[in-house]
Amino acid sequence: MKMQSIKEIKTLLSNSSVSDDILFQLKQDERKGVQNALNGYYKKIEKKKLLEQKFLERKKYENFLWNQGNIVAGVDEVGRGPLAGPVVTAAVILPENNTLIEVNDSKQLSDKKRRKLYQDICQQALDISIGIGNQDLIDKENIYHATELIMKSAVEDLNITPTYLLVDAMTIPVNIPQKKIIKGDANSISIAAASIVAKEIRDDIMNMYDKIYPGYDFARNVGYGTKNHLIGLEKLGVCPIHRKTFAPIKQMV
């Protein structure tokens, strides 16, 4: 190994698996660059092990249900808090052998990572369904009940009928056994996948609305009451996608 350059050794350590014999030889190499590369390799391995451990933890509910022969759908929502735009729900059925090791609560992911995982979910999922509730439904039913109805719509529109639902902190009015999990998007792989799908769909919708209704900064605030959004409200008034039962819009109308 000492005959190899540091660049060659870095290339070797970029592989996911290196034999114990080679690692032992590299430990004896006194070159600082080699030792730095070796430390980087061990950190990468530890990170991978941690990801795999968390992946197993996020599959604990699914594994229990899959072992009983259930078809499991994870359900989550995005957009209950904004002043404008729809609430979006997603129902996702994943295969037991999925490899979505990095899928986690959508709020914990960068935009770039979430978009990549969204594509991975779409490739691996057995079925995905979306529910969208606009501002009129939210104003009529209240946000909580509107979310329940849209979750129901997402579940009922699945092509594959699930036999069990895992839901993030909600109860869906359907005749299917279900478990309400607090912080479900961090504790269930299926709910986490649904949260990513719902988030990506809603962000795309709000980017579209930013072009239709410029001046509220919808592309960046996705409807939440940021400073720029409130300034837009003061200058332009209420637009058609604002929720009229939410303050301060309620006072403005």
DSSP calls for 90-148: EEEE--TT---TT---GGGS-HHHHHHHHHHHHHH-SEEEEEEE-HHHHHHH-HHHHHH
Q: How far is CA 174 from the centre of its chain?
A: 24
Residues 77, 88: Cα–Cα separation, whole Å: 6
Q: What is the pLDDT at residue 1?
A: 60
Of residues 117, 124, 129, the one with CA closest to residue 89: 129
Q: What is the pLDDT at residue 18?
A: 82
Q: What is the pLDDT at residue 47?
A: 85
Burial of 15 (0-12, 13-18, 19+ CB in 10 A): exposed
pLDDT tens-digit readout, 136-169: 999 999 999 999 999 999 999 999 999 999 999 9
Of residues 10, 161, 5, 138, the one with CA closest to residue 71: 161
pLDDT tens per residue, the chain (253 residues)? 667 888 888 888 887 678 888 888 888 888 888 888 888 888 888 888 888 999 999 999 999 999 999 999 999 999 999 999 999 999 999 999 999 999 998 888 999 999 999 999 999 999 999 999 999 999 999 999 999 999 999 999 999 999 999 999 999 999 999 999 999 999 999 999 999 999 999 999 999 999 999 999 999 999 999 999 999 999 999 999 999 999 999 999 8
CATH architecture of 71-208: 2-Layer Sandwich (3.30)
Report whether 217 contacts 210 (CB < 8 A): yes
Q: What is the pLDDT at residue 11?
A: 83
pLDDT tens-digit readout, 98-134: 999 999 988 889 999 999 999 999 999 999 999 999 9
Q: What is the pLDDT at residue 45?
A: 82
Residues 112, 122: Cα–Cα separation, whole Å: 16
Buried b (16+ CB within 10 A) or exposed e, 101-118: bebbbbeebeeeebeebb
DSSP calls for 90-103: EEEE--TT---TT-
Residue tagged 């699930």 (tokens): 162
Report whether 82 contacts 222 (CB < 8 A): yes
Q: What is the pLDDT at residue 220?
A: 97
